[in-house]
Amino acid sequence: QSALTQPASVSGSPGQSTTISCNGTSSDIGFYNFVSWYQQHPGKAPKLIIFDVKNRPSGVSNRFSGSKSGNMASLTISGLQAEDEADYYCSSYKNTAIPVIFGGGTKLTVL
Amino acid sequence: EVQLVQSGAEVKKPGESLKISCKGSGYTFTDYWVGWVRQMPGKGLEWMGIIYPRDSDTRYSPSFEGQVTISVDKSINTAYLQWSSLKASDSAMYYCARRKQLWTDFDYWGQGTVVTVSS
């Protein structure tokens, strides 16, 4: 059981938008603005796509956006493209003893 | 260019020991934490632990405390993950990744090391 809860799968058609949720608690997502999102294609290492809730690293498409409300963070992917088909993981800071928690991952299928 | 280069795939027998490595380059190694993440076949990411190369300050996930040892040799910009007695359930992909502060994101990742434990 993962510390953060994500839907196992989401899907969308090319050009549409889709949102992946990430539910935590008042001790992690609800308390800190240190939520990050990672994209992982099959057989590849994870790649950072969102940090500090809503910021994109250089080179990441602006079709990816992040937000947070209460204990839930969200990743929205607009204008879906075939290359967006991948697994997505959220992560949050929790405390100095357990600084990293991950969600269970969400498989995005582009129909 | 920032790079984290991990050691190659390993095939071991249950009960054997193993130490895999992660060498950082293109940045000041002692300025960033290095974390280890397990991914079992077909499963999600699991944080194992993290080390600060400057002073070897180390934190472990409760799930992995006592099961693995994380260490570093800052003279050669390399972090390590080791097992003293492998189990079949340790078969997985292992990634290293760096983060600037304990609370920030993993901005660069290694390519991963596959560990297979089988009799």
Which B residues 7-36 touch A at CB under 8 Å? 35
Q: Is A46 on the interface with B (CB under 8 A)?
A: yes
**Whose CA is closest to B33, among B84, B75, B70?**
B70
Strands (E), chain A: 9-12, 18-23, 35-40, 47-50, 64-69, 72-77, 86-92, 101-102, 106-110
- Residues A67-92 have pLDDT tens digits of 999 999 999 999 999 999 999 999 99
Q: Is B73 on the interface with A (CB under 8 A)?
A: no
Distance from CA of B41 to the nearest CA of A (A): 11
Q: Taking residues B77-88, what's their average pLDDT?
A: 98
Rounded CA gap, B111 and A72, in Å? 30
- Residues B24-48 have pLDDT tens digits of 999 999 999 999 999 999 999 999 9
Phi and psi for B70 in degrees, rounded to 5?
-105, 135
Q: Cα separations (Å) of A33 from A26, A27, A59, A75, A95?
A: 12, 11, 22, 14, 13
Rounded CA gap, B35 and B6, in Å? 13
- Asked if A57's CB is within 8 angstroms of B59's CB, the reply is no
pLDDT of residue A2: 66
Q: Is A7 on the interface with B (CB under 8 A)?
A: no
Q: Is B103 on the interface with A (CB under 8 A)?
A: yes
* Sign, Cα dihedral of B63, B66, B68, B71: positive
Residue B21 · residue B79 · CB < 8 Å: yes
Phi and psi for A4 in degrees, rounded to 5?
-110, 145
- Residues A24-59 have pLDDT tens digits of 999 999 999 999 999 999 999 999 999 999 999 999
Structure tokens at B23: 């060498």
pLDDT of residue B117: 98
- Asked if B61's CB is within 8 angstroms of A89's CB, the reply is no
- Inform me whether the pLDDT recorded for B65 exceeds 70: yes
Of residues A2, A51, A98, nearest to B104 (C-beta): A51
pLDDT of residue A3: 85
- Residues B84-118 have pLDDT tens digits of 999 999 999 999 999 999 999 999 999 999 999 99
CA nearest to A90 within chain B: B45
Predicted confidence band at A1 (pLDDT cuts at 50, 70, 90)? low
Q: Chain A residues with CB inside 8 Å of B103's CB? A: 32, 34, 93, 99
